[in-house]
């Protein structure tokens, strides 16, 4: 049986100081190996500084194309920004605008490039790409994103192929929503995977956390890890850790941080005989196995 490579990723890095502090703590004292940076976040400058001080923390780009500030000035995105000068609050609205308007698509492409360029300016190696609200899986946006991910040297991209049956066996709350999300994103992931098969950008066999966003707490993770099937060779588990709870059910929150620091979760990793990894190490594993630098499997 192949050794399971596990990427523990913290989303929303740079969103707020409480998120930055939680992610660094989870990397220093817990099992977190990777994080996704919001380059337009209120605490992005601090996040970049902390990342340079922690070179074993893999950092990717968390594209923010909804409910956030833009990287480009408002006059360059006249058809994309709302009346308050922010990107659309609804991912559904953003997807509709992108699909039907070539003008909006052109503005979104420029905004995505601007966020990649901001990441380049950090001087950090680009581990992977994902997005706020998983908007990068929208077929029109994915067609824009993938060539840029290749151009800027991303090692991986998130395909949120969660396991509905396993997720429901562990937590049946939000049942209808989980079933709807699972069916919708299963189709989007299949479409994206067909394009990724011809790309140097890698992806994990499974991504856990999508169906449990906001509640990736200790009991859930400890129960999930031993039940990851032996056929899964690589998996990303993503959380939203923070020292303080944010409004809304999806985090960030202290419960996710506690799970990443939990000895019980670390023991479950050890018993599953998994290796902590990141997307750069996963890309190399096509040719040879590699333990994530600075981390261990127990």
| pTM (predicted TM-score) | 0.92
Looking at residue 164, what is its pLDDT? 96
Number of structural domains (the chain) is 1
CA dihedral 208, 210, 213, 217 (to 10 degrees): -10
Is residue 118 a part of any domain in this protein? Answer: yes
Is residue 102 a part of any domain in this protein? Answer: yes
Looking at residue 85, what is its pLDDT? 84
Is residue 191 a part of any domain in this protein? Answer: yes
Residues 6+ apart with CB under 8 A from 24: 50, 54, 57
Is residue 187 a part of any domain in this protein? Answer: yes
Looking at residue 1, what is its pLDDT? 54
Is residue 108 a part of any domain in this protein? Answer: yes
Pairing of strands 34-37, 156-157: unpaired
Is residue 289 a part of any domain in this protein? Answer: no
Which domain covers residue 177, as residue numbers? Answer: 4-284
**Separation between Cα atoms, residue 33 and residue 8, nearest integer Å:** 5
Tell me the pLDDT tens digit for each residue of 192-218: 999 999 999 999 999 999 999 999 999
Phi, psi dihedral angles at 133 (to 5 degrees):
65, 15
Is residue 60 a part of any domain in this protein? Answer: yes
Question: Which CATH number does the domain housing residue 50 bear?
Answer: 3.20.20.370
Ranges in the chain, pLDDT < 70: 1, 286-298
């Amino acid at each position: 049986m192949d050794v399971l490579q596990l990427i523990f990723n913290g989303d929303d890095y740079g969103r707020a100081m409480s998120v930055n502090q939680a992610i660094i703590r989870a990397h220093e004292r817990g099992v977190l190996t990777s994080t996704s940076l919001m380059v337009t976040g209120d605490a992005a400058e601090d996040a970049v500084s902390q990342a340079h001080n922690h070179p074993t923390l893999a950092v990717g780009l968390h594209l923010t194309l909804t409910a956030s500030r833009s990287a480009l000035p408002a006059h360059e995105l006249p058809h994309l920004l709302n009346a308050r000068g922010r990107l659309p609050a609804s991912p559904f609205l953003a997807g509709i605008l992108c699909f039907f308007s070539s003008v909006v698509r052109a503005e979104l492409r420029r905004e995505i490039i601007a966020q990649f360029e901001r990441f380049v300016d950090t001087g950090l190696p680009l581990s992977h790409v994902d997005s706020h609200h998983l908007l990068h899986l929208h077929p029109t946006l994915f067609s824009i994103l993938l060539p840029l991910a290749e151009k800027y040297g991303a090692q991986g991209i998130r395909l949120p192929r969660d396991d509905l049956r396993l997720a429901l066996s562990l937590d049946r709350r939000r049942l209808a929503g989980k079933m709807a999300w699972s069916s919708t994103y299963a189709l989007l992931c299949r479409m994206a995977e067909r394009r990724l098969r011809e790309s140097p950008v890698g992806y994990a066999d499974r991504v856990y956390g999508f169906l449990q966003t906001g509640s990736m707490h200790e009991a859930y993770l400890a129960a999930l890890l031993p039940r990851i099937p032996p056929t899964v060779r690589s998996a990303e588990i993503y959380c939203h850790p923070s020292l303080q709870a944010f409004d809304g059910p999806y985090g960030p929150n202290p419960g996710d941080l506690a799970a990443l620091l939990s000895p019980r979760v670390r023991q479950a990793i050890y018993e599953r005989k998994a290796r902590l990894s990141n997307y750069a190490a996963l890309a190399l594993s096509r040719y040879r196995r590699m333990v994530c630098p600075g981390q261990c499997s127990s």
